[in-house]
């Protein structure tokens, strides 16, 4: 299964109680379809004693199963805590976008969308100069007017 297809078959489960483990989460979501994987991200700190960061992901074999899981488990209680269940979103690339440490115009994604080739620049310059050498003057043709404002009726 490709990464994109895996994210379409995965639900985010937030608001997990500290004592929830992967087996509990697997058992809670099993009625909605075959489960391919359950992951509970570990805390970042090396001194942390918690099993997880308060959320997890449940990946189903069939992407159709996440609809039932979201409809039935959103707002449900597990170990005394109310769950927040939604479709999982793919992880953002930390080197892309506004939160990155590199300038926006130096990022590959931005360059691919916004870069203009030299050929395009030359063609645009030729189109500008080829049409008319003199710039357009909006005041042209107003010499005959001696009174400003609307014409008297």
For residues 70-92, average pLDDT: 91
The answer to whether the CB of 72 falls within 8 A of the CB of 65 is: no
Task: Give me 22's structure tokens.
Answer: 């992967």
Residue 135 is predicted with a pLDDT of 65
* pLDDT band, very low/low/confident/very high, at 124 (cuts 50, 70, 90): confident
Order of strands, sheet of 10-14, starting from the edge strand that comes earlier in the sequence: 35-39, 55-60, 10-14, 84-87
* pLDDT band, very low/low/confident/very high, at 61 (cuts 50, 70, 90): very high
Residue 152 is predicted with a pLDDT of 67
pLDDT digits (tens, 9 = 90+) for 5-32: 788 899 999 999 999 999 999 999 999 9
Residue 95 is predicted with a pLDDT of 65
65-79, 82-96, 115-129: the lowest-pLDDT one:
115-129
Task: Give me 134's structure tokens.
Answer: 């003199």
80 secondary structure, DSSP code: T
107 burial via Cβ count (<10 Å: 0-12, 13-18, 19+): middle
Residue 1 is predicted with a pLDDT of 60
45 pLDDT more than 60: yes
More confident residue, 65 or 99: 65
Residue 137 is predicted with a pLDDT of 74
72 pLDDT more than 80: yes
């Amino acid at each position: 299964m490709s990464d994109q297809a895996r994210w379409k078959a995965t639900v985010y489960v937030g608001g997990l109680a500290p004592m929830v483990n992967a087996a509990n989460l697997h058992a809670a979501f099993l009625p909605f379809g075959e489960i391919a994987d359950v992951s509970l991200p570990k805390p970042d700190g090396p001194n942390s004693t918690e099993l997880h960061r308060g959320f997890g992901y449940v990946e189903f074999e069939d992407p159709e199963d996440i609809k039932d899981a979201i409809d039935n488990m959103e707002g449900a209680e597990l170990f005394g805590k109310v769950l927040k269940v939604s479709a999982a979103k793919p992880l953002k690339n930390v080197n892309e976008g506004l939160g990155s440490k590199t300038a926006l115009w130096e990022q590959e994604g931005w360059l691919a969308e916004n870069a203009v080739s030299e050929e395009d620049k030359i063609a645009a310059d030729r189109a500008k100069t080829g049409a008319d050498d003199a710039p357009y003057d909006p005041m042209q043709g107003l010499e005959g007017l001696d009174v400003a404002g609307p014409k008297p009726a």
